[in-house]
């Protein structure tokens, strides 16, 4: 079998949907279970799982510490994940990809500004025509802040994050994951839609985080069947 290589984004070990599917209640237990499967796959099938160093590696350590994971979990990260810095100078990416990325970012930024303008207009109109029963101007302003502007700002923030961040690369670790996968001819494992979109643009294989544990289990199951057949043949 062709040796498999995977480059893991932070979400490959921390995704909530993946934990729910596996039936693990906590982030630490989910990380340990996936890392144990990675260890078995590495020892039995020579499957290698990489993380960009130091970006994603540091993120994983930070997640583990912030969620109270024990030293054993952190040791599994250090032992079974191959740490490698992507070669940012030698990996070649077509200029068209960057041209499309810049155009895509400009489109998203403009979309975010349009949402902001709509929210500002909505807030202005509601403030102007607000039928308030407050006793004085100070109370009117409190009513507006609490009942109108607070809700509008909250909705605006959600829309703006969705418009500006969904489907884009918005961090150095995202880019490192793609560069390292391109360099190693490996598959990317992530939950991030932006990574998925640009993995497709770069011709990099993509594995959704929630399908990665079942994939490892399937590899290991067939490996076990192969060992059993070998034993029966020798008998």
70 and 106 housed in the same domain: no
pLDDT of residue 181: 96
Q: Which domain holds residue 37?
A: 5-85+171-234
Q: Are residues 80 and 140 in the same domain?
A: no
- Are residues 14 and 81 part of one domain? yes
Q: Assess if residue 43 is contained within a domain.
A: yes
Same-domain check for residues 158 and 117: yes
pTM: 0.74
Distance CA 167, CA 191 (A): 11
- Parallel, antiparallel, or unpaired: how do β-strands 206-208 and 82-84 relate? unpaired
Residue 90 covered by a domain: no
Tell me how far apart the alpha carbons of residues 229 and 45 are, in angstroms, rounded to a whole number. Answer: 16
Q: Are residues 180 and 211 in the same domain?
A: yes
Domain co-membership, 10 together with 65: yes
Same domain, 157 and 101: yes
Report the distance separating Cα 117 and Cα 156, nearest Å: 10
Q: What is the pLDDT of residue 235?
A: 45
The residue from 165, 192, 222 where one domain ends is: 165
Domain count, the chain: 2
Same domain, 22 and 77: yes
Q: pLDDT truncated to tens, each residue of the chain (235 aa)? A: 457 999 999 999 999 999 999 999 899 999 999 999 999 999 999 999 999 999 999 999 999 999 999 999 999 999 999 999 999 888 888 878 877 877 788 788 888 888 888 887 777 666 655 555 555 555 555 555 556 666 777 778 778 777 776 677 767 898 999 999 999 999 999 998 889 999 998 999 999 999 999 999 999 998 887 655 555 554 4
Do 160 and 44 belong to one domain?
A: no
On the 0-12 / 13-18 / 19+ scale of CB atoms within 10 A, 49 is buried
Please indicate, yes or no, if residue 154 is contained in any of the structural domains: yes
Q: Residue 30: is it exposed, middle or buried by C-beta count within 10 angstroms (0-12/13-18/19+)?
A: buried
pLDDT value of position 70: 96
Considering the domain architecture, whether residues 27 and 50 belong to the same structural domain is answered as: yes
Q: Which residues contact 199 (CB under 8 A, 6 or more apart)?
A: 178, 181, 188, 205, 206
117, 134, 165 - which closes a domain:
165
């Amino acid at each position: 079998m062709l040796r498999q290589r995977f480059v893991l984004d932070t979400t490959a070990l921390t995704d909530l949907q993946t934990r729910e599917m596996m039936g693990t209640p906590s982030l630490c237990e989910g990380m340990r279970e996936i890392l144990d499967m990675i260890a078995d796959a590495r020892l039995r099938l020579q499957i290698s799982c990489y993380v960009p160093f130091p970006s994603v590696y540091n993120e994983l350590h930070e997640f583990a510490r912030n969620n109270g994971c024990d030293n054993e979990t952190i040791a599994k990260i250090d032992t079974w994940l191959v740490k490698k810095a992507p070669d940012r100078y030698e990996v070649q990416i077509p200029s068209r990809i960057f041209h499309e990325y810049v155009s895509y970012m400009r489109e998203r930024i403009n979309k975010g500004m349009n949402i902001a303008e709509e929210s500002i207009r909505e807030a202005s109109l509601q403030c102007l025509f607000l039928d308030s029963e407050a006793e004085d101007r100070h109370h009117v302003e409190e009513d507006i802040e609490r009942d109108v502007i607070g809700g509008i700002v909250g909705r605006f923030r959600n829309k703006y994050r969705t418009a500006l961040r969904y489907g884009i690369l918005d961090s150095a670790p995202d880019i490192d994951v793609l560069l390292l996968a391109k360099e190693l001819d490996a598959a990317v494992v992530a939950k991030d839609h932006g990574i998925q979109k640009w993995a497709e643009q770069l011709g990099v294989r993509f594995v959704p985080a929630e399908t990665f544990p079942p994939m490892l289990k399937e590899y290991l199951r067939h490996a076990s069947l192969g060992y059993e057949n070998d034993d029966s043949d020798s008998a």
